[in-house]
Amino acid sequence: MMHKVGRIFPTAMLLAALLQPSVALQLNITALGAANNASTLECWQMDTPFTISTQKGTSGSAQLQLGNTSTMSYSVLPAQYNAGVHNAPANQWVIFLTGLAYITLPGDKSTSAYVPGGQFGLIFAADTAAVSGTGHNTSYPGITETVALQIPTLDGEIPSHSILHSGPCTANDTLGLLGLAAP
């Protein structure tokens, strides 16, 4: 019995050390912003870091509060659908649950973003008509439908963030999230 307990204790200490990173893990997401009355694609880092949940059902897991929200929509977009050029209807979180979205900017042929459904399918859209005269185009080039949640923020609030760089986030910008799932 002592032998098994002796093995568990170092493992528990290692796990505790891994769950307490020396640098806080923060969420990086691709965002649609605006500058000079034109829509932009940017890589944002949320100012609030992940915390370790103490809530029953998720206790011990990484958690991040995204802020207060308004009404939420569930959209099913057909394969090969093109939504055309448009502005975000409100400052909102968009979560692509399945499928594939392709975002382009009118007048900027060098910047675009593929957003796959799933764990990396979260973006923030803040290029409303009040700040962008150009909007963006979203198409859904996949062979299956794309399912998305649109979640406007309460009172149009834009979450506190810093801009890591222009253009969408890259795989290197989001690698930290993979560590959250490590055993």
Q: pLDDT value at position 72? A: 96
Q: In degrees rounded to 5, what are phi and psi of residue 88? A: -60, 135
**Tokens of residue 112, six digits:** 């675009």
Amino acid at 114: Y
> 168 vs 183, which has greater pLDDT?
168
Give me the pLDDT at residue 10, please: 45
Ramachandran category for residue 7: left, alpha or beta (phi over 0 → left; psi -120 to 50 → alpha): alpha
Specify whether the CB–CB gap between 154 and 70 falls below 8 A: yes
Q: How confident is the model at residue 178 (pLDDT cuts 50, 70, 90)?
A: low
Of all helices (H) and strands (E), which one includes residue 102?
A: strand 100-105
pLDDT for 121-143, tens place per residue?
A: 999 999 999 999 999 999 999 99
- DSSP 3-state of 165: strand
Q: What mean pLDDT value characterizes the chain? A: 88
Residue 61's contacts (CB-CB under 8 Å, 6 or more residues apart) are 52, 53, 180
Q: Where are the domains of the chain?
A: 2-180
Its CATH architecture, for the domain 2-180, is Sandwich (2.60)
Please, what's the b/e burial string for 154-177 (b: 16 or more CB within 10 A of its CB; e: otherwise)? eeeeebebeebeeebbeeebbebb
Supply the DSSP string of 106-131, one letter for each residue: TTEEEEEEEEESSTT-EEEE---TTT
Confidence class for position 8, pLDDT limits 50, 70, 90? very low
